Amino acid sequence: MTRVLAILALMLSLMAGPVRAAEEIVAGLSQNRISITAQFNGSQILIYGAVKRNEPEPQTAPLKIIVSLEGPSLPVTVRRKVKTGGIWINRDKVEVDSAPTYYAVATSAPIGTIISHTEDLRRRITIPTAIRSVGASGTVTDSGAFSEALIRLRTRDGLYKLSEGAVDIVKDTLFRATFDLPANLVEGNYRVRILLYRDKVLLDEATETIFVRRVGLERWLANTAEQQSEFYGVLSLLIAGFAGWAAAAIFRFIRS
């Protein structure tokens, strides 16, 4: 009899559908497509939304939000230069299996008050955890220094950024965050991730996608360089030769 009741309870729960979270994210983007042209000098993305509640708001820990924007991940080779005989040369190198070409994180509070270290490792939220699997040769004993160098260089170039307190929350319901995208973006799909926390417990997660594409002549040149490298090389030489001849002709005309 007990087994029959358990089966009936399971069937009723399945018929009722999945259990909805007490607090859910409803999000939107100011734009979900970015076109890279010759005049492209960066863009700004506004990520906004609200928290939908199916019951009264808990009067416990305050609501906290993390918003991340991640570009396509690619393998990277990080090299270290050493000075030998007065000349700087590459000596050691480390292969990073996957590193985001762009990664920015905005939070509503100091990130250490929102998530634990274990949660960070599980969901790969902070910049160091987003870089996966560093492979080093037997001569390299400090592979972590290469990851730190990669983060430092891309932070300097505006490709990696952590902005604590940059997510505005209004009355524990509405939220917004702004991301400034640099001009040196890599073409691909950029993932937006919004995570909702209370007392370091994840309540809900939402994802969106921003499509970054080259258009016009820039797209044709990029495709030609990747798919027809020989033709692209010959074309580059012809353009360079024509530019040199044209410049010389202009100077001769001016001097005559």
Q: What is the CATH number of the domain that holds 22?
A: 2.60.40.3880
In the prediction, which pLDDT does 225 show? Answer: 55
- Cα gap 124→134, rounded to integer Å: 15
Give tens-digit pLDDT for 202-250: 999 999 999 998 775 555 455 555 555 665 566 667 677 777 777 777 7
Which position has the higher pLDDT, 75 or 249? 75
Residue 88 lies in a domain: no
pTM of the model: 0.74
Q: Which domain holds residue 122?
A: 18-72+99-214
Whether 234 is covered by a domain: the verdict is yes
Residue 89 lies in a domain: no
Q: What percentage of residues in the chain have a pLDDT greater than 90?
A: 43
Q: Is residue 93 part of a domain?
A: no
pLDDT, residue 226, reads 56
Residue 227 CA: distances (Å) to CA of 180, 189, 221, 230, 234 = 31, 20, 10, 9, 14
Q: Compare 12 and 99 and report the one with higher pLDDT.
A: 99
Going by pLDDT thresholds of 50, 70 and 90, the confidence category of residue 59 is: confident
pLDDT above 60 (res 107): yes
Q: Are residues 158 and 103 in the same domain?
A: yes
**How far is residue 119's CA from residue 108's CA, in Å, rounded to a whole number?**
17
